[in-house]
Amino acid sequence: MSLQATSSQTVGPFFIIGCAWLDRAEIAGPGISGERVTIEGRVLDGDGKPVHDALIEIWQANSHGKYAHPDDAQDPPVDSGFQGFGRIPTDDNGKFRFTTIKPGSVPGPDGKPQAPHLAVSVFARGLLRRLVTRIYFPDDAANAADFVLNLVPPDRRESLIAKKAGAAGTLEWNVILQGPSETVFFDI
């Protein structure tokens, strides 16, 4: 049998109505092991204007590099109480903010470990399909050899790596939807 996946349509401007019940800006609760990070930023359009009607979703492994999912057959332990899912709408100024733990490395397509990263979906009015991107961590030695980062032209890699900002443990990462400093988006 060969069916075709249903077409995507925009979330529109009013998705909060249906999605707010599952908002998760605290991805890792107090009892979860790992290095605490706060990630904040803005979603901006091609004119540099804040996008107040965007929704960010995060998917990540735990601090041991294990996904809470049946297809992750690796040995490292699952943290009970850590799902690895985040959902954060932007505010009136296009800002979002969430807290989590830095994930461990997970295997890459070349058999080598990938650098720690968060998988990100961006939804918004005006986006007919979600945009897929990743957040990597600053000063991580594994970034240089990361299979996915190395598929990205060097001058655009910066958009995928969060920057240290303000207080310890706080990182800044922005989503620029369009233009010369556009965030790298992936076709998966």
- Touching another protein, residues 7-26 (CB under 8 A): 7-22
Residue in the block written with tokens 């000063």? 139
Q: In this chain, which of 124, 135, 161, 171 binds another protein, going by CB under 8 A?
A: 124
- 36-95: which residues touch another protein (CB under 8 A)? 45-47, 49, 51, 53, 57, 59, 61, 67-74, 83-85
d(CA 185, CA 160): 9
Q: Smallest gap, in angstroms, from Cβ of residue 164 to another protein?
A: 23
Binding-site member from 63, 100, 114, 143 for another protein (CB under 8 A): 114
What's CA 180's distance to the chain center, in Å? 21
- Given a contact cutoff of 8 angstroms between Cβ atoms, the answer to whether 77 and 66 are in contact is yes
Residues 6 or more apart from 2 whose CB is under 8 A from it? none
- Residues numbered 145-164 forming contacts with another protein, rule: CB under 8 A: 147-148, 151-152, 156
Question: Position 112: which residue type?
Answer: K
Please report whether residue 123 would count as binding another protein according to CB under 8 A. Answer: yes
**CB-nearer residue toward another protein: 5 or 167:** 5
Contact in structure between 129 and 135 (CB atoms under 8 Å) = no
